[in-house]
Amino acid sequence: MVNAFDVTFCFGFRGLPRYPAPEEEDAEMIPALRIVIHMGGLHRLAPFWLAALVLFVLNFGPLVIVALLYGIVLQFFVEYVMHRFLFHREPPTEQSPFNALYRTHIGHHEFPTNPDFFTGDDHWFALKFALVAVALHTLVLWPFLGLENAALFSFVALFLGSASAFTFYEYCHTLAHLDVPKGWFGKKVTHAHLRHHFNDHDSNFHVSFGMGWIDRLFGTGYDRDAAKARFDRDTILSLGMDPEDLRLVTARKAYGLPERPRARAR
């Protein structure tokens, strides 16, 4: 007998990405890139990424190679930590901060096919975060590398390594939510991420392809039995909140969204 959990995961909502024949595999990239290249946060990072690339080439050697690799790995951990502990934190009781969290993430869970909610609305956040991270890394590394090398390492790590990994995350995340033909890569990314949306929002916090080991490292890897025990088809889209919670109703109205998300399974 098929239960609601299986129906929700297998069929989800109208618009769940379909899986094409192998010859269509290349069709997944262009639609996702069309959205990614218009993301305001990436536009603001782009000049710094180019500057970091120039510095990487001009100073090519062990220092900037290590910086690049460090920045990439760092961003994958930042992706996990922010998603789990910032975006999935206990919802604020006051409406104003709740609206901010709703616009940043809860709204994306309730309306996962709405491209306006693929990212938050603060297009300067990534750049501000990176600038602060560069400053902090420079201060920490200064006594060990000297100011010039510390600044070089930090700038390349954050604006070349981390920014590249962040762009890869945005691509994977966008691809997972698009109703386009998907090849092997797209299927893998979509399958893993939609488990987080439609089976268990307390697991699979990673989004970037190949980063499932981070979830397993911190004990949030997907487990079917645990997911099935936690699953509630009435609250899965609202991150465990009652869909009629006044905070949710008010936030949806504030952002011009439907009164409630579509029913998950019948």
pLDDT per residue as tens digits for the range 65-90: 999 999 999 999 999 999 999 999 99
For 124-148, the pLDDT digits (tens) are 999 999 999 999 999 999 999 999 9
Q: How many domains would you assign to the chain?
A: 1
**Residue 265 within any structural domain of the chain:** no
**Residue 8 within any structural domain of the chain:** no
- pLDDT at position 132 is 98
**Residue 211 within any structural domain of the chain:** yes
Q: Crossing angle of helices 62-81/147-156, nearest 10°? A: 50
**Structural domain of residue 179, as residue ranges?**
22-254
**Residue 160 within any structural domain of the chain:** yes
pLDDT for 96 beyond 70: yes
What single string gives the DSSP state of each residue in 61-125?
SHHHHHHHHHHHHHHHHHHHHIIIIIITSPPPSSHHHHHHHIIIIIHHHHSTT-GGGSS-S-TTH
**Residue 11 within any structural domain of the chain:** no
**Residue 55 within any structural domain of the chain:** yes
**Residue 120 within any structural domain of the chain:** yes
- pLDDT at position 199 is 96
**Residue 180 within any structural domain of the chain:** yes
